[in-house]
Amino acid sequence: MTTGTAQLDAVFTALGDPTRRDIVARLSRGDATVTELAEPYAMSLQAVSQHIRVLERCGLVSRGRDRQARPCRLEPEVLRQAESWLEESRRTWSARMDRLEAHLAAVQEREQA
């Protein structure tokens, strides 16, 4: 397994959780502290921090330093890599479905002849 594959696996695993998807969506609007990210959830700061650590491990989120605060920041390049993989997969499956559709149309034509 390549490093890229391992990172993609980690990204899709991280994004499998709705709270983490919400955090990524929130960070797409700008940097935020853990406290700010935790506001909409009925969970502890520690629980939100655990979600953020998962996002950090796969590279989707990094933490900066601003005096005492450590704002979280979305790393869009990792999302672009996942998007690229998804687009490649979509093209592959679309081409396969087009070939299947053509094959079924040819079979149907032969049956009607």
Architecture of domain 3-112: Orthogonal Bundle (1.10)
Helix H or strand E segment including 103: helix 76-112
pLDDT (tens digit per residue) in 46-69: 999 999 999 999 999 999 876 777
Question: Do 64 and 73 touch, CB atoms closer than 8 A?
Answer: yes
Q: How far apart are CA 103 and CA 68, in angstroms?
A: 64
- pLDDT for res 3: 53
Q: What's this model's pTM, rounded to 2 decimal places?
A: 0.77
- pLDDT for res 1: 45
**16 phi, psi to nearest 5 deg:** -70, -10
Which residue ranges make up each domain of the chain?
Answer: 3-112
